[in-house]
Amino acid sequence: MKLLLTVLAASLCFWVSGQIRTPQSTEIWKPVPPVVTPGEYTAPPSDAIVLFDGSNLDLWQNKIGNEAGWIVENGCVTVKRGTGSILTKKAFADIQLHIEWRSPEKVVGKGQGRGNSGIFLMDRYEVQILDSYENETYSNGQAASIYKEHIPLVNACKKPAEWQTYDIIFTAPRFGKSDRVVIPAYITVIHNGVLVQNHVAIWGNTNFIGAHSYKPHDAKLPLSLQNHGNPVSYRNIWIREL
């Protein structure tokens, strides 16, 4: 009797809602994911949009739609004081972004005055760029912070003049019919190979003064790089639309 009950119990494992459960019953064959060829190291994958390859700023413009005025030389682009921030001509929503940046070799100033720039997702949600190597400032304003919101889990900054990487996964916010945010933006940041922001919810538009809050905007908007007056350099910028 005991053996019979064991056999019956085992047989029940093959039946769910009147269907026989087999290895094939949980296999999904379609859709088939498209093939993407990964890049070597930090090189862009085959489906990426290369925003800056070291040669020109053809895919960028300034805030009023004119030519981007930053300095392109030796395979990188450097902030030029007085020219303003630059933004992509193309608009984006959910993205994977790879970007490499370098603070100036000559250390000038301290705190927020040292190697300051920023990456603005949708031209309004900032991931901070700052020389945070042995440089004290407020924690939610150091490198890899979501500016004045989320403190990075660790400080993974390299020394001044060394190239650093950000790999960012960003999900744009969703707004309802009443223009209220129904799903906030989410962001993950990996700094120099180290996870520093783990799928955190963004509180709203980045403000220097006052609380952050959402304002309704288009589903897709440009990516922008901040001109804070410090000669921060960038290279190898590519993006994947998700």
Q: What is the pLDDT of residues 73-122, one digit of tens each?
A: 999 999 999 999 999 999 999 999 999 999 999 998 999 999 999 999 99
**Is the CB of residue 99 less than 8 Å from the CB of residue 234?**
yes
Alpha helices in the chain (DSSP H): 2-12
Question: Is the pLDDT higher at 43 or at 91?
Answer: 91
pTM of the model: 0.89
Instruction: Report residue 218 as tokens.
Output: 């288009």
Contact between residue 236 and residue 52 where contact means Cβ atoms under 8 Å apart: yes
Given this model, what pLDDT does residue 173 score? Answer: 98
Could you report the per-residue pLDDT of 44-78, keeping only the tens digit for each? 999 999 999 999 999 999 999 999 999 999 999 99
Helix/strand/coil for 225: strand
Band of residue 14 on the pLDDT scale cut at 50, 70, 90 = very low
pLDDT band of residue 1 (cuts 50, 70, 90) is low
Provide the pLDDT confidence category of residue 2 given band limits of 50, 70 and 90.
Answer: low
Work out whether strand 174-175 and strand 60-62 pair parallel, antiparallel, or are unpaired: unpaired
Instruction: Place 7 in a pLDDT band, splitting at 50, 70 and 90.
Output: very low
Looking at 34-43, 136-145, 209-218, 222-231, which range is the least confident one? 34-43
pLDDT at 131 over 90: yes
**Whole-number Å distance between alpha carbons of 102 and 166:** 11
Q: How far apart are CA 110 and CA 71, in angstroms?
A: 24
Give the fold, CATH level 3, of 47-241.
Answer: Jelly Rolls (2.60.120)
**CB neighbour class for 122 (10 Å; exposed up to 12, middle 13-18, buried from 19):** buried
Asked if residue 219 has pLDDT above 90, the reply is yes
Structure tokens at 115: 């190697």
pLDDT at 9 > cutoff 60: no
| Contact predicate 143/157, CB 8 Å | yes
Where does the pLDDT of residue 8 fall: very low under 50, low under 70, confident under 90, or very high at 90 and above?
A: very low
Q: Over pLDDT 90: what percentage of the chain?
A: 86
CA atoms within 13 A on the CB side of 25: 9
Looking at residue 190, its pLDDT comes to 98
* Average predicted confidence (pLDDT) for the chain: 92
C-alpha R_g of the chain: 23
What pLDDT sits at residue 232? 98
Q: Is the predicted pLDDT of residue 182 greater than 50, yes or no?
A: yes
23-62 exposure pattern, b = at least 16 Cβ within 10 A, e = fewer: eeeeeeeeeeeeeeeeeeeeebeeebeebbeeeebeebbb
Instruction: State the pLDDT confidence band at 17, using cuts at 50, 70 and 90.
Output: low
